[in-house]
């Protein structure tokens, strides 16, 4: 289920979004320049365009923070000791912070990061096969260009899983209203889309089996540090990649006697194979 914003090749939305199997997930703001008239471009146009780009860049808060801290350190030392020492310390802090931030996130294309996140989840799910879990990966939703990254069927039920790889330089947080933010970007659309994909899987598999099948939406995040174990946000279970095995095992224990039998798991798995075609 691909990419926060959406992947570069497609913008994801609550309805059937345009999302391809190789699409990236990083939202992109496109700034369209106004055409120049006969007398040349409008005065001040380039300045507004630059401001818009800076406002839309998720790294801008980091730059502002770095500048404020460096300036504060330089002013304090400059007033109490010597202005040259203050300037030197401010410059050294800015250089050190820039170097540290650049080392925390390798420059990898968005599509490659998405594929890496999907492969990580696949490897973790292989470890759960002895516990009765089966998985379908990269399954297309008929009638749309959306792709379910992983459909997991096991003793605790059926799960539509979205594997995300986000920029680790930006903090992940949740507001009081259960809004998920990655840096300054609100991930509401990603959560809504995850629920939509789970609902489509529930409808298609349930119709094929002739019974109601509940599918739980899940979002797994790789990259930044997640300050919680598992959080349910807008109906979606959100947790870091290192919690994959723990999450599904705990769900199996929590459901108790209502677990699906091996025969039921295989039956749902075979129906999902029929109604959710593989990508490619």
Of 151, 130, 163, whose CA–CA distance to 274 is shortest?
A: 151
pLDDT value of position 62: 60
pLDDT value of position 109: 55
Helix, strand or coil, per DSSP, at residue 163:
strand
How far is Cα 209 from Cα 215, in angstroms, rounded to an integer? 14
pLDDT value of position 63: 59
How far is Cα 12 from Cα 123, in angstroms, rounded to an integer? 26
Q: What is the mean pLDDT of residues 21-31?
A: 38
Beta strand segments in the chain, E: 134-140, 147-154, 157-165, 172-174, 180-182, 185-186, 215-222, 231-233, 236-240
pLDDT at 21 over 50: no
Q: What is the mean pLDDT of residues 7-31?
A: 40
Which residue's entry shows tokens 């005065």? 43
pLDDT at 271 over 50: yes
Spell out the residues 6+ positions from residue 172 whose beta carbon is closer than 8 angstroms to its own: 166, 180, 181, 182, 221, 224, 225, 226, 227
pLDDT value of position 148: 96
Q: Where in the chain are the domains? A: 45-103, 110-275
pLDDT at 5 over 70: no
Instruction: Quickly state the pLDDT bin for 216 (edges 50, 70, 90).
Output: very high
Higher pLDDT, 255 or 1: 255
pLDDT in tens, 117-170: 889 999 999 999 999 999 999 999 999 999 999 999 999 999 999 999 999 889
pLDDT in tens, 249-269: 999 999 877 899 999 999 999
Task: Decide the pairing of beta strands 180-182 and 185-186.
Answer: antiparallel
Of 136, 106, 109, whose CA–CA distance to 122 is shortest?
A: 136
pTM: 0.63
Helix axes 262-275, 188-209, angle to 10 degrees: 110
pLDDT at 92 over 90: no
pLDDT value of position 237: 97
pLDDT at 9 over 70: no
Higher pLDDT, 96 or 133: 133
pLDDT in tens, 52-85: 544 544 455 665 766 777 677 778 767 777 777 7
Q: What is the mean pLDDT of residues 21-34?
A: 38
Averaged confidence pLDDT in the chain: 78
Instruction: Quickly state the pLDDT bin for 276 (edges 50, 70, 90).
Output: very high
pLDDT value of position 60: 57
Q: How far is CA 179 from CA 1, 107, 191, in A?
A: 19, 28, 9
Helix, strand or coil, per DSSP, at residue 266:
helix
pLDDT value of position 59: 52
Q: How many CB atoms lie within 10 A of CB 58?
A: 16
Structure token pair of residue 147 = 């792709």
């Amino acid at each position: 289920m691909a990419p926060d914003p959406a992947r570069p090749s497609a913008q994801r939305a609550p309805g059937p979004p345009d999302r391809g199997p190789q699409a990236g997930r990083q939202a992109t703001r496109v700034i369209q320049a106004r055409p120049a008239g006969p007398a040349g471009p409008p005065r001040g146009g380039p300045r507004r365009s630059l401001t818009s780009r800076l406002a839309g860049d998720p790294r801008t808060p980091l730059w502002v923070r770095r500048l404020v801290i460096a300036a504060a350190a330089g002013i304090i030392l400059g007033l109490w000791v010597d202005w040259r020492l203050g300037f030197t310390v401010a410059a050294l802090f800015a250089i050190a912070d820039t170097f540290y931030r650049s080392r925390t996130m390798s420059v990898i294309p968005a599509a490659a990061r998405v594929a890496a996140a999907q492969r990580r989840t696949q490897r973790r799910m292989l470890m759960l096969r002895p516990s009765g879990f089966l998985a379908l990966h990269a399954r297309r939703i008929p009638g749309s260009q959306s792709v379910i990254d992983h459909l997991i069927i096991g003793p605790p039920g059926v799960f539509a899983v979205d594997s995300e790889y986000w920029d680790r330089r930006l903090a992940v947080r949740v507001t009081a209203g259960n809004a998920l933010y990655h840096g300054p970007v609100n991930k509401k659309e990603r959560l809504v889309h995850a629920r939509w994909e789970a609902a489509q899987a529930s409808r298609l598999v349930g119709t094929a089996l002739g019974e109601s099948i509940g599918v739980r939406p899940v979002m797994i995040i790789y990259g930044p540090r997640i300050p919680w174990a598992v959080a349910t946000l807008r109906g979606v279970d959100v947790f870091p990649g290192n919690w994959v095995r723990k999450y599904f095992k705990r769900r199996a224990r929590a459901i108790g006697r209502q677990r699906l039998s091996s025969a039921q798991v295989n039956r749902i798995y075979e129906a999902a194979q029929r109604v959710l075609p593989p990508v490619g």
